[in-house]
Every structure is written in C-alpha cells, then in structure tokens.
Amino acid sequence: MFNQLSGLLHRPRLSAWDVADILIVSLLIYQALKLIRGTRAMQMVIGSLLVLLLLYASQHLPLQTVNWLIRSVLTYAVIAAIVLFQADIRRALSHLGSAPVLRYFARTEQVSETIEEIVTAAGLLASKSVGALIVFEREIGLRNYVESGIRIDAAVSYDLLTTIFQQETPLHDGAVIIAEDRIAAAACFLPLSVNPKLHRDWGTRHRAGIGLTEESGAIAVIVSEERGEISLALHGQLERPLTPEALRGRLQTLVLHRNPKNQAPIGAEIDA
C-alpha cells in the first residue's frame, strides 16, 4: 500500500502535450456521448458496459463458465460493433466532417449553393407575383428575430422557400432568416423603418427589410407582390428592380467576397 501511494506522489510532471492529450480524449468522449444520447446506440453502450462489468466480476469470482463465454464472444466484438453501430458510426463521421474547422474549407461552395437556391426562389416568386422577404444574417446575429418566428432549421432550397411564401401557408406572412447557410426560422417579425423618405407605395414587407438593414449588417431580398419585382435592401437603402442575374451577382459580392469596396449599394433608391 505504501509503495502504491509513493508511486502516485512521485509521478512525472504533466507536460503541455499530456494536457493536450487529455483534452482531446475528453472532447472525443464528450462528443461521442452527445452524439449517441437519446438513440438506440446509448442502450447498446450501456449493455456493453454491463457485459464488461460481468467479465471483470467473473475474473474475481468462481464463475469460470461465464468468463469463458464472455471471452469467446469478445473475440468477435469488433465485427459485432461495426454491424450494430454502422448507422451511428456513419453519423459520427459525418458529424466530424462538419466540424467548424473543416466546415470552413467547404463554406464557399455551400454559400454558392445557398445563393443559387435563393436566386431561383426569388425569380419564381417574382414571376408569379408572390411576395417574399428573405434575410441573410451576417456579422451581427439575428437571434432575437429568429425567436420571434417559427424555427425550421432546414437546408436552403428553392422548393421550401417558394412553399413557405405561398399565401395558403400559415408561414407566408413574415420574413425567412438564413443563418449559417440554413433556414433558421420563418414568419419572423422585423422592425419597420421609420425613414420619412421612403416611398409611400412601399408596403410592410419593404419597410421591414429596410428597417432591419438599418440596424444590422444583414441583407434583405424582397419580392414585391404588387409589382412582381425583386429588390435588395442593404444599410437602409433599397436596390430595385433587380433581375435574377443581377441579384446573383450582388449576393456573391456581398456574401462570398465581403470586400468593403463592394459593400455600397448600387442603383439604390430611397425615393422611388
């Protein structure tokens, strides 16, 4: 007993690499438990721990048959784990591939796809004179406005966007907010602009898009229900009318490149 205590007290000092090693292993265990929480895999993990506990007990108790049976089964444990946990392993690798560090390298392609889906949706809605308000979150978070609507957390697709803004759906009245290349929420309430220079004919949708961009660096894509035209609000100013091609170019400049020289609105209108 004394020798064991002495060994614990005289262990080598931890280095920076030891600390990093412990943190990485702890993070991996935490992410694994977080990933399997609430799934069937969690039950199988608990069952596996019980089997290992039974193996440990059989080694210290006269349970030779149990010990032999468990050791024989554990010979094929790796193959059994791959078969039983194949869906969870695939999901874990997918989750690892979407980690923030790795996601950075794939962001450009993802943003390009998001822009294309929004441009397609805006073009379709404008051709059918269906009103829409789509907001891009940028540097300043829009969590307060996301919480005012209905959370969706879905991939951006023109099918979903055009469906949301159909008048028959309960989500059409309000704004869709795009955050981290996903549709965060729909039917969101935005602050209306109080700028007295705004055209009287502009309705609530345009005033809400302009009002939000006055308070944040967000970008608002607006489709007019009356005129069937596409507009873009930025820094409290409105660019209109825009063709789908012009909208694509502006979004690519503002969202992808984020060049300060390209941040000023082009063809902006306050008095229309």
What's domain 106-269's superfamily in CATH? Answer: DNA integrity scanning protein, DisA, N-terminal domain (3.40.1700.10)
Find out whether 220 and 209 touch, Cβ atoms under 8 Å.
Answer: yes
**CA quadruple 90, 95, 97, 103: dihedral, nearest 10:** 160
What's the confidence (pLDDT) of residue 231?
94
List the pLDDT tens digit at each of the 272 positions of the chain: 556 556 655 666 778 888 888 888 888 777 777 666 656 666 677 777 887 888 888 888 887 887 788 787 777 777 777 776 676 666 666 656 555 555 555 567 788 899 999 999 999 999 999 999 999 998 888 888 998 899 998 999 999 999 999 988 888 888 999 998 899 999 999 988 887 777 777 788 899 999 999 888 899 999 998 888 999 999 988 898 999 999 999 999 998 765 444 444 444 444 43
Tell me if the pTM is above 0.75: no
Query: Distance (Å, rounded) from C-alpha 147 to C-alpha 144?
Result: 5
**CA quadruple 224, 134, 238, 251: dihedral, nearest 10:** -120
Q: Under DSSP, is residue 148 helix (H, G, I), strand (E, B) or coil?
A: coil
Which one, of 135, 205, 122, lies nearest residue 162 by Cα? 122
CA distances from 150 to 146, 172, 175, 209, 211 (A): 8, 11, 10, 18, 20
What's the confidence (pLDDT) of residue 62?
80
What's the confidence (pLDDT) of residue 125?
94
Which one, of 125, 189, 133, 194, lies nearest residue 163 by Cα? 125
Residue type for 70, please? I
Peptide bond into 260 cis (omega under 30): no
- Domain boundaries in the chain? 2-97, 106-269
Q: Count other C-beta atoms under 10 Å from residue 156's C-beta.
A: 21
* H or E element that contains 231: strand 230-234
User: Looking at the chain, how many residues does it have?
Assistant: 272
Q: Which residues contact 38 (CB under 8 A, 6 or more apart)?
A: none
What's the confidence (pLDDT) of residue 264?
46
Q: What distance, in Å, lies between the first and last C-alpha atoms of the chain?
A: 88
